[in-house]
């Protein structure tokens, strides 16, 4: 069959025209948000300086119009009408997910819609310093709006939750691993979820770094964590293994540990001034009055203290005293210790005169 040259040319021209229309149509669709903004007479960034990060909350059950209004009021987009039209044209008006989002002012309406549909909500950090007690963590939770102080402490002592998490003891003290945790807005009002994550982090560190050594020497997890909590509250700088050596040596000799932080645990805030009355008070955690380890941890130790609890330094130290410079003087006998106490306490007194 013979095909005329004219017919071939007509076919090529038609194909080229269709391709051109398709490309132009796709380009026009991709620029739809910007085009609509131009059509409405406004451009993103005219109502607020562009590029500033703003945390925006999209309420659960909010309508498309309500979301658009919030975005416009925050300066994220210039026109809620444009935002609504883009969502309707794309058929995605019901796909927006509630939550907190980190958005930038002067953004393209289509790009903002993509982010709200993705559900990639803003993550905020919650930092628990090493050595914090459950009481201090309760204050952090309350300050961050995760739970009230009372609700957190109730969870930290909840027998069912403690058992579920595989912890022995009457509270989660010692097992809430100090770290920075990043939470999504959906997790902000779920303290149990955060607690589970903290305990899971503890198990990860303990099982990898500490557990095998503890099992070798027949030490229970409670013993190790309790000792680590004392080390955490006493050690400075790189002294963890040295403080651990003092406690190990004292335990072997049946000497009382005489750790100051145990004296006020659960009675006064950590860091409070310790009085003679505190030292003489008979309570289970007071290692000036009770021999051996206290009945449980007095704080939540970090990795360095947990490792030091099972890896004490090879020293014969029995005493240490603060040198008022962030470190301690370690000694092996009472005479040397008393000399060090006299030296550093006298030095401290002379500086306060």
CA 30/CA 110 separation, integer angstroms: 9
CA 267/CA 347 separation, integer angstroms: 30
Q: What is the DSSP letter of 105?
A: T
- In this prediction, residue 119 carries a pLDDT of 85
Q: Single out the residue of 248, 207, 206 nearest to residue 231, CA to CA.
A: 248
CA 319/CA 246 separation, integer angstroms: 6
CA 257/CA 52 separation, integer angstroms: 55
Phi, psi of 197 (to 5 degrees): -65, -40
Contact indicator for 59, 80 with CB cutoff of 8 Å = no
Which residue's structure tokens are 């072997």?
252
Predicted model pTM:
0.74
| Backbone CA torsion sign across 191, 197, 198, 200 | positive
CA 215/CA 271 separation, integer angstroms: 33
- In this prediction, residue 37 carries a pLDDT of 52
Which residue's structure tokens are 């920075």?
180
Burial class (CB in 10 A: 0-12, 13-18, 19+), 62: middle
Q: Single out the residue of 203, 238, 224 nearest to residue 307, CA to CA.
A: 224
- In this prediction, residue 38 carries a pLDDT of 47
CA 188/CA 144 separation, integer angstroms: 8
Q: Single out the residue of 304, 266, 294 nearest to residue 129, CA to CA.
A: 304
CA 323/CA 343 separation, integer angstroms: 9
| Helices and strands (H, E) in the chain, number of each type | 16, 6
The count of residues in the chain is 353
- In this prediction, residue 28 carries a pLDDT of 46
Per-residue pLDDT of the chain in tens (353 residues, 90 and over written 9): 444 544 544 554 455 444 444 444 444 455 555 555 544 444 444 455 888 989 898 998 999 999 999 999 999 999 999 999 999 999 998 999 988 888 999 999 999 999 999 988 888 899 999 999 999 999 999 999 999 999 999 999 999 999 999 999 999 999 999 999 998 877 778 999 999 999 999 999 999 999 999 999 999 999 999 999 999 999 988 899 999 999 999 999 999 999 999 999 988 888 888 899 999 999 999 999 999 999 999 999 999 999 999 999 999 999 999 998 889 999 999 999 999 999 998 655 444 33
Nearest 5 degrees, angle CA 295-CA 220-CA 267?
20
Category of 61 on φ-ψ map: left (φ > 0), alpha (ψ -120 to 50) or beta: left
Phi, psi of 55 (to 5 degrees): -90, 120
- The CB-side HSE value for 206 (13 A sphere, CA atoms) comes to 25
124 bridge partner residues: 183
Helix or strand (DSSP H, E) at 182 = strand 180-184
Report residue 297 as tokens.
């941890």
3-state SS, residue 187: helix
3-state SS, residue 322: strand
CA 277/CA 287 separation, integer angstroms: 14
């Amino acid at each position: 069959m013979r095909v005329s040259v004219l017919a071939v040319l007509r076919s090529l021209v038609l194909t080229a025209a269709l391709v051109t229309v398709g490309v132009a149509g796709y380009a026009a669709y991709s620029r739809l948000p910007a085009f609509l903004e131009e059509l409405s007479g406004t451009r993103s960034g005219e109502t607020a300086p562009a590029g500033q990060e703003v945390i925006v909350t999209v309420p659960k059950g909010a309508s498309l119009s309500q979301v658009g209004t919030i975005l416009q009021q925050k300066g994220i987009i210039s026109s809620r009408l444009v935002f609504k039209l883009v969502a309707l044209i794309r058929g995605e008006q019901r796909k927006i997910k509630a939550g907190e989002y980190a958005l930038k002012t002067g953004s393209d309406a289509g790009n903002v819609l993509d982010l709200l549909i993705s559900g990639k909500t803003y993550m905020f950090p919650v930092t628990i310093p090493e050595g914090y007690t459950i009481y201090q963590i309760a204050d952090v939770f309350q300050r961050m709006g995760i739970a009230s102080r009372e609700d957190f402490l109730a969870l930290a002592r909840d027998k069912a939750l403690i058992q579920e998490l595989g912890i022995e003891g009457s509270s989660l003290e010692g097992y809430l691993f100090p770290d920075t945790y990043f939470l999504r807005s959906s997790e902000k009002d779920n303290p149990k979820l955060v607690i589970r994550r903290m305990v899971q982090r503890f198990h990860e560190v303990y099982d990898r770094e500490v557990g095998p050594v503890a099992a070798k020497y027949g030490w229970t997890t409670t013993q190790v964590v309790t000792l680590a909590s004392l080390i955490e509250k006493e050690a400075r700088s790189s002294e963890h293994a040295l403080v651990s050596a003092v406690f190990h040596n004292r335990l072997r000799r049946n000497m009382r540990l005489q750790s100051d932080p145990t004296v006020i645990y659960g009675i006064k805030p950590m860091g409070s001034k310790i009085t003679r009355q505190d030292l003489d008070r008979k309570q289970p955690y007071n290692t000036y009055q009770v021999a051996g380890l206290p009945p449980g941890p007095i704080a939540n130790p970090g990795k360095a203290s947990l490792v030091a609890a099972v890896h004490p330094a090879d020293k014969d130290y029995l005493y240490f005293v603060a040198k008022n410079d962030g470190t301690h003087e370690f000694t092996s006998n009472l005479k040397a210790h008393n000399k060090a106490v006299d030296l550093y306490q006298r030095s401290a007194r002379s500086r306060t005169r």
